[in-house]
Amino acid sequence: MQRHTFTALNSTFIVDSEYQFVKELGQGAYGCVVAARHRRSGEGCAIKKITNINTKVHLDSAIHDGS
């Protein structure tokens, strides 16, 4: 799998090269979110980078948020 990097919301994202950065969506308690697009299908998605997990309670909450 090829990867590439981009910087958004003062954070560096390392993602599969099949995904292209579109725009910044925002920051929250656990990290930041950007919009991306799958290069071949054109389908949009959100990528969340979790940067502030320091306890099991926070981790459980972040996992629940992603489902």
**Residue 56 is assigned to a ligand binding site:** no
Radius of gyration of the chain (CA): 13
Backbone angles phi, psi at 42, to 5 degrees: 80, 0
CB distance 30 to 53 below 8 Å: yes
Binding-site positions read: 49
Binding-site positions for ATP read: 49
